[in-house]
Amino acid sequence: MVRSSVLGYPRIGADREWKKALEAFWSGKLEESELHSQLQEIRLNHLRKQQEKGIDFIPVNDFSYYDHVLDTATMFGIIPKRFPYKGGIVPLSVYYGIARGTKDATASEMTKWFNTNYHYIVPELDGANPVLTENRPLNAYREAKDKLGIEGKPVIVGPLTFLKLSKGYSISETDAWLERLLPLYVQILQELESEGVQWVQIDEPILVTKLSAADLQRLKTIYETFAASVPNLNIMLQTYFESVENYSDIVALPVKGIGLDFVHGFYGNMPTIKALGFPADKVLGAGVIDGRGIWKASLRERLVLLEELGEFVTADRIIVQSSCSLLHVPVTVKNEALLLPELKDALAFADEKLDELVLLTKAVSSGVAVIANELEKCESALEALKLSGERNRNDIQQAVAAISAQHPERSLPFSERHIAQQKKWQLPMLPTTTIGSFPQSAEVRKARQLWRKGEWNNEQYANFIREQIDIWIKLQEEIGLDVLVHGEFERTDMVEFFGEKLAGFAFTQNGWVQSYGSRCVKPPIIFGDVAFEEAMTVKETKYAQSKTDRPVKGMLTGPITIMNWSFVREDITREQIAYQLAYALRQEVEALEHAGIGMIQVDEPAVREGLPLKEEDQAKYLAWAVKAFRMTTCTVQDTTQIHTHMCYCEFHDMIDSIEAMDADVISIETSRSHGELIHSFELNTYKLGIGLGVYDIHSPRIPRVEEMTNMIDRALRVLDPKLFWINPDCGLKTRGFEETIDSLRNMVEATQIARAKHSLKV
């Protein structure tokens, strides 16, 4: 009999109660015992929901107090040396210190979880002596069984994935580290086996990337060791986000089950199974429901897929499951009252995906007739959206086809534009600026709420925004920044703000997903053809420029970031969506320039995260991503300076593409990974303007002048001081008023010291 399973469930709660509990604890409003109590109740509610829906294999240990990779590191006592730790269970003060930083220690690096918008905390192995501090999966299993009678499926990040995502060791030390970690994993699994656990899900998403022969041997060693150590424990070796590499090697491993993604990995996994079959002694975890997308699945198509898989795997050896953890989607569509009916009916968030899994399981087990009504409703909903006017705008489709057939480029090369821009702007060496946003205080949020509720009219709200701009223009001048910003006080989110003003977008009321830690985002839904309707940023930027003689940057979010940070339609390619966005944003760039704004920042922090996991697909993606950016910015005058910004990604493998974007200035986050990126520039010449973020805005600590001076010094060893800018590593929206002022003052002081030290003329 076929069974159902989920790989993980969202942590945050339908009303973001998880986020609220964490932030109350961090602010001192919640005692630690109360935090534990509240999070346990949230966790049990999530388990109870899956139990009531009828999911057969319910994941446990997928819940976290911040991040599951950080959980794994602290479970093994892997604590960076700069944090006080004397052994045993890791205190929350240390746990959150690693994630967020403290007054005395910088936070660990944070980067993207494969090609998603979720960020994990990078484990630092340097100097660590791993030991099992607590068996988290066992604790989670016991809680689910004792409290709810659930025979849970513990979830663990696998050893190879954990090692490959960690830092602080050389490649030559990989086997030595595996020898240290493997006994700890064995101890966890043996304790689970002794407890009577039936299935354990070991996540190895690294298996969808290219592995060396040495890594394949390590994989073999790991799972042969597990098989010998826990012969009675069923291990589901779980992959996701793409098709597996080295299929034959992986299915030959001595595990009970293999989990494969048949949504994002369909075009690799399905042909491989058809060509090579599937082992008769293993269970197939068939990831047929999209764990990353928000669209209702075509149940009819999914049943056809399961029928095809049934030719190679008997029904009793198939588990119908999500393609990955549901961490990446909102909790439920049920609470969305304002969406167009044809759109809402075509959506499926986490809870609705649970229903889809149960329906498919019923149909495979008992015949399609048992879900006939649901099948009909599903297909009708999908067809209604397909035929909607929003998805069939011929004017936009024709215009985008015309401009995307052209080669977008500025009229002069950077070397000549740079001279013209320097003559116009007369900036000092090492010019200082910020990334765009300033603190969104409670007062700012309250004003926006009053306006949205209709308690303030448009003029009242506009006056309030102008007052905030006045305050921060003056502050920036007093601090001594060279290039200013208006502060983005009118913006809730860097993607949502633009989506609300463009055609083709829809917005949820409660469609929150976790980005990092307690940071939740509410991605827009691109469900129709994207179109420019009216100027979006001109009013506030033009006003800010009128209040100062220093240049004020116009601030836009770029086409690739808007696309990658939205839930996008599936009926056209992502490349086509990117070009529609580029065409719309080009019109905004031109409107800013026409209004007299001569510096325009088009942020692209999410370019890297959209990079396909398969190497053979990466060049094509980067080519059209670069083209979309250039389509957005190529029509401006030579003296108009185009800036962009990227953050929290590994950049070393795409420096050439960054340069090909042809932005006059790019700012890149480096404060948590400064050395790694500087090393990239030691190996690769970069000839355009660049700012390497000199302090981490996601940490509450105020950076010291000396820290930033050291960062500047190292950067200037490999970068041309004539092209080097000084800035924080990201926007300052989430920071407090006083810490923002103090941090920026220190940044300007560090810049002045660097100018003097390197004899750079101001």
Place 676 in a pLDDT band, splitting at 50, 70 and 90: low
Q: Has 634 been labeled as part of a binding site? A: no
Q: Taking residues 228-240, what's their average pLDDT?
A: 98
pLDDT digits (tens, 9 = 90+) for 534-587: 999 999 999 999 999 999 999 999 999 999 999 999 999 999 999 999 999 999
Token output for 194? 């002794």
CA gap 683, 664 in Å, rounded: 21
CATH 3.20.20.210 boundaries in the chain: 3-274, 394-405+414-757
CA gap 601, 435 in Å, rounded: 9
Catalytic machinery residues: 698
Q: Taking residues 149-162, what's their average pLDDT?
A: 98
Answer yes or no: is pLDDT of 10 > 60. yes
Note whether 306 and 364 are within 8 A (CB).
yes
SS3 of 320, please? strand
Place 668 in a pLDDT band, splitting at 50, 70 and 90: confident
Q: Has 117 been labeled as part of a binding site? A: yes
Answer yes or no: is pLDDT of 735 > 90. no
DSSP 417-471: HHHHHHHHH-PPSS-B---SB----HHHHHHHHHHHTTSS-HHHHHHHHHHHHHH
Burial-class residue 488 by CB neighbours within 10 Å (0-12, 13-18, 19+): buried
> What pLDDT was estimated at residue 582?
98
Q: Has 170 been labeled as part of a binding site? A: no
Answer yes or no: is pLDDT of 648 > 60. no
> What pLDDT was estimated at residue 652?
67
pLDDT digits (tens, 9 = 90+) for 390-445: 999 999 999 999 999 999 999 999 999 999 999 999 999 999 999 989 988 889 99
Length of the chain: 762
Report CA-CA distances (Å) from 304 to 277, 311, 364, 402: 18, 11, 10, 38
Q: Tokens 């001192």 correspond to what residue?
A: 28
Note whether 567 and 545 are within 8 A (CB).
no
Domain 3-274 has CATH 3.10.20.30: no
> What pLDDT was estimated at residue 234?
98
CA gap 141, 127 in Å, rounded: 32
> What pLDDT was estimated at residue 492?
83
Answer yes or no: is pLDDT of 762 > 50. no
* Fold held by 394-405+414-757: TIM Barrel (3.20.20)
Mean pLDDT is lowest, of 379-383, 488-492, 635-639, 682-686, for 682-686
Place 623 in a pLDDT band, splitting at 50, 70 and 90: very high
Q: Has 36 been labeled as part of a binding site? A: no
Other Cβ atoms closer than 10 A to 314: 12
Residue predicted with more confidence, 459 or 493: 459
Q: Has 301 been labeled as part of a binding site? A: no
DSSP label at 547?
Answer: T
> What pLDDT was estimated at residue 759?
75
Contacts of 208 by beta carbon, 8 Å cutoff, 6+ apart: 239, 240, 241, 242, 243, 244, 245, 261, 265, 613
Mean confidence (pLDDT) of the chain: 94
Q: Has 647 been labeled as part of a binding site? A: yes
CA gap 221, 244 in Å, rounded: 18
> What pLDDT was estimated at residue 734?
81
> What pLDDT was estimated at residue 329?
98
CA gap 276, 281 in Å, rounded: 15
Note whether 335 and 509 are within 8 A (CB).
yes
Note whether 759 and 745 are within 8 A (CB).
no
Mean pLDDT is lowest, of 128-142, 377-391, 466-480, 692-706, for 692-706
Q: Has 16 been labeled as part of a binding site? A: yes
Token output for 637? 């005058």
Answer yes or no: is pLDDT of 375 > 50. yes
Burial-class residue 105 by CB neighbours within 10 Å (0-12, 13-18, 19+): middle
Q: Has 645 been labeled as part of a binding site? A: yes
CA gap 219, 717 in Å, rounded: 40
Nearest alpha-carbon partner for 219 in 232, 234, 233, 207: 207
Answer yes or no: is pLDDT of 721 > 60. yes
> What pLDDT was estimated at residue 761?
53
Kindly give the interhelix angle for 458-479 and 538-546, rounded to the nearest 10 degrees.
50
Token output for 430? 């090492």
> What pLDDT was estimated at residue 78?
98
Tally the C-alpha atoms within 13 A of residue 275's C-alpha that lie toward its C-beta: 8
Share of the chain above pLDDT 70, in %: 97
> What pLDDT was estimated at residue 672?
57
Answer yes or no: is pLDDT of 608 > 90. no
> What pLDDT was estimated at residue 292?
96
